[in-house]
Amino acid sequence: MIRSEDLIWGEGNRSFSFKGLHFVTVHGGGTEGEWVPGENCFLFYKTRALVDQYVSFFRSSASPIRTDNVLELGLFDGGSVPFWFEALEPKKHVGIDIRERSDTPYFQKYAADESRRGRIETQWGTSQDDAVRLGELVDTAFGGDFLDVVIDDASHLYDQSRASFEILFPRVRPGGYYILEDWAWSHWRGLEENFAGHQPLTRLVFDLIEALGSTSHRLIIDMHVSNGFVAIRRGWTPAEELGEFALDRFIYRHPR
């Protein structure tokens, strides 16, 4: 798991070292001194504040979190994959992103190491709301096994994020976690132009809270909410009972 003592932050929190790997936290690209993303370090599109929230979450968990199979939606430059791979130490980590591109040379060298070969897979050019493609990809990559952790750091848009949730949540192991990153963007000043015309992702969080209240922990055990992410713990309802899963089927609202 992520331990604060393993993270060595540079001046201004613009870069850090983690288990011998170097990361530059530059939003939108750039360099940090001698470190050039893609060549000799990873570009990491998360802030220290968000990383600190994850450290706190994993540290405060009442019981060990299983992390054998990890799926990540939204890769930016790919730097989050090695970060999560080192932090969670999964047997298999798959990352997808909608953009058509390839892994950086630095990433390719990292993934090709004998200890990681076959355990890391990236799928570029895959949309998070493509039900057929996403479902087939996940079932093939993980051999039909359950997912233990899903991290959605993709579009941050309501429709696409909800589609991913409905595709993937039945594939999460009971007791596993589905994490929505940056759910609160509609409440952060300065992002109005980025998401103009889109429904706030907060609405999905409200949907999930309603589902939690409606199903007495059968669908969702609990939810951890912080400023940077929401972690939804999967309940014990068997996947076959979820059927063609649609969140609305598990939300009850009193007639008005």
Q: Which residues are catalytic?
A: 156
CA 71, CA 18: separation in Å to the nearest integer?
A: 21
Pair of tokens at residue 45: 């599109």
Residues in the chain: 256
Query: Is the distance from CB of 215 to CB of 250 less than 8 angstroms?
Result: yes
Residue 152: alpha-carbon gap to chain centroid: 4
Quick one: DSSP state of residue 35?
B
CA 178, CA 162: separation in Å to the nearest integer?
A: 12
Pair of tokens at residue 44: 């990491």
Query: Is the distance from CB of 65 to CB of 177 less than 8 angstroms?
Result: yes
Residue 28: alpha-carbon gap to chain centroid: 19
What's the Cα-to-Cα distance from 129 to each of 22, 43, 121, 229, rounded to whole Å? 32, 25, 19, 20
Which string of b and e fits 89-118 if b means at least 16 CB within 10 Å? ebebbbbbbbeeeebbebbeebbeeeeeee
Pair of tokens at residue 119: 């355990």
Pair of tokens at residue 121: 């897979």
